Amino acid sequence: MEWRPVNNNPNPMAPTYLPQIRKALDDEDYKLAEQLTQKMQGLFSDAYEPLGDLMIQQTFNGNATDYYCDLNISTATSHTNFSVNDVDYTREQFVSAPDQVIIVRLTASKKGALNFTVSTKSPLYYNNTISDDEIIMKGIAPSHSDPNYVQALEIPVVYNDPNK
């Protein structure tokens, strides 16, 4: 997974506010932390593009029971467990930003019980490479993107790639 933020006005002073924000959070002074966070942001700081979405569609004959899910921010993992017609299903996800990867593992307690389709979509120009055990999605982010609340340019999304 490759992406880059679209931010045409980075704030070179942003790192100086981080220790102050952390201290405010430690002191539970959330109003001050919010004010300092706003000083870190540059102009149009919310004009970021996600690479895209991974959709996993499972088909079941029956209703899910014994549903459980958890999210562990420290380990970047999430788990979902549930049962349908005496079959136990597990969904596990792991994310690694340094490795640019999202790993999803689906399991079922009975052989042949997994039935699903996988697809992707993105607002960016992208392509997928598919092999036996992985889907690699690569996209091209625009060089400029106005936030949806600003209509300053005639063309709000600009790509430097002449083929786009």
Angstrom distance (rounded) from CA 92 to CA 103: 8
What does the domain layout of the chain look like in residue ranges? 61-114
The pTM (predicted TM-score) of the whole model is 0.60
Q: Render each residue's pLDDT in the chain as its tens digit; 164 residues.
A: 344 444 445 677 888 899 999 999 999 999 999 999 888 876 665 556 778 899 999 989 999 999 999 999 899 999 999 999 999 999 999 999 888 888 999 999 999 999 999 999 988 889 999 888 888 888 887 877 777 667 666 777 778 766 65
Angstrom distance (rounded) from CA 88 to CA 80: 11
Tokens of 85: 């017609």
- Alpha helix (H) ranges present in the chain? 14-26, 30-40
